[in-house]
Amino acid sequence: MKAFFIDHYGKRNGAIGEVPDPTVGAHDVLIQVHATSVNPLDSKIRTGEFKMILPYSFPLVLGNDLAGVVVRTGAAVKRFKPGDEVYARPPEKRIGTFAELIAVNENALALKPLNLSMAEAASIPLVALTAWQALVETAQLKKGQKVLIHAGSGGVGTLAIQLAKHLGAFVATTTSTSNVDWLKALGADVVIDYKQQNFESELHGYDVVLNSLGADVLEKSLKVLKPGGQLISISGPPTAQFALEQGLSWALRQVMRLLSGGIRRKARKHGVSYTFLFMRANGAQLQNITTLIEAGVIKPVIDRSFSFESTAEALRYVEQGKSKGKVTITINQAP
């Protein structure tokens, strides 16, 4: 099959070529990939930023989102059959959606929302699961609470704003000048233009902050939270608890304890908690998201679409950090 893969870590590494078809285990579903999408995570994996946490072998097919059609199922698969239209974020140890085919454990899969195209569906899984696991699972966000979602115009931000509003929260977000009105239309109650305003001076008494930006924003976010609030970061630093959950070595747990020591101490001083979130594949949660999409509660936000042959260009575009919502790639045209 054809796939976009890397044979070593590097910023501009990667090409389309032939790789072996996936091996299909008893609990796996073989999927013809119709569309995928690009996430900042793809670039971080390509450069080796996560090689301590996720020691991949080469050649490595990149890609963390898919929508497609079931071709074949393993002997133990119960919930899917050939011909089903599905979407997923594969488990992190078995990524590879920038390809014509992929085998995915059935527990990571959900039926594709009926009201979305393949490209629209492919834009959803990673960012929607991140938003769900941050706001529903970790924060347990409730009606009337206040949440700050940084980088509201990004892939995670656009989905998190919609989900938080559905949960009944008061939502603030940060963005650049050109996106202020657009994010208000998406549902944000307060939009902070970071080029003209300091969010830490404008916002106070928040229950939750969802951070996807750098260390300076992470620390300033503490000032926004009220005592007992939660600072949840998907951009790090990782914690020893995360390392333990990942089954990493004692030595790596100590490294991550040190990496997160500063922000954890400052969080305690402010009377709030700090959590590092590394999104997990979860088909059951994705099925809940499907229900919200089919009800019109959550809508995909797509900036641009690329052909499979232009995968490298799509990666470069996302690396610029200016896309509004998601960037998709069409692998196989739907019939």
Residue whose token pair is 């072996």: 20
Confidence of residue 236 (pLDDT cuts 50, 70, 90): confident
Per-residue pLDDT averaged across 39-48, rounded?
Answer: 95
Percent of the chain with pLDDT strictly greater than 70? 99
Per-residue pLDDT averaged across 233-242, rounded?
Answer: 92
pLDDT for the residue 45: 95
CB 314 within 8 A of CB 305: no
183-215 pLDDT per residue, tens? 999 999 999 999 999 999 999 999 999 999 999
Residue 76 has pLDDT above 80, yes or no: yes
pLDDT for the residue 334: 56
Q: At what angle do helices 283-294 and 125-132 cross, to 10 degrees?
A: 100
Looking at per-residue pLDDT, the higher value among 321 and 229 belongs to 229
Residues of the chain with CATH 3.40.50.720: 126-276
285-334 pLDDT per residue, tens? 999 999 999 999 999 999 999 999 999 999 999 999 888 999 999 998 75
Residue 95 has pLDDT above 70, yes or no: yes
Check: CATH 3.90.180.10 for 2-124+300-330?
yes
Per-residue pLDDT averaged across 236-255, rounded?
Answer: 91
Per-residue pLDDT averaged across 152-161, rounded?
Answer: 97
9-28 pLDDT per residue, tens? 998 899 999 999 999 999 99
96-146 pLDDT per residue, tens? 999 999 999 999 999 999 999 999 999 999 999 999 999 999 999 999 999
Using only C-alpha atoms, the chain has a radius of gyration, in whole angstroms, of 20
Nearest to 112 by CA among 98, 128, 95: 128
CATH topology of domain 126-276: Rossmann fold (3.40.50)
The Cα 95–Cα 22 span in angstroms is 11
Residue 29 has pLDDT above 60, yes or no: yes
Residue 335 has pLDDT above 60, yes or no: no
pLDDT for the residue 322: 84
Tell me the three state secondary structure of residue 208. strand
- Two tokens at 54? 């996720």
CA distances from 262 to 69, 259, 269, 292 (A): 46, 7, 11, 38
Q: At what angle do helices 40-47 and 311-319 cross, to 10 degrees?
A: 100
pLDDT for the residue 231: 98
C-alpha angle with apex 317: 316 to 322, nearest 5 degrees? 135
Residues of the chain with CATH 3.90.180.10: 2-124+300-330
Confidence of residue 52 (pLDDT cuts 50, 70, 90): confident
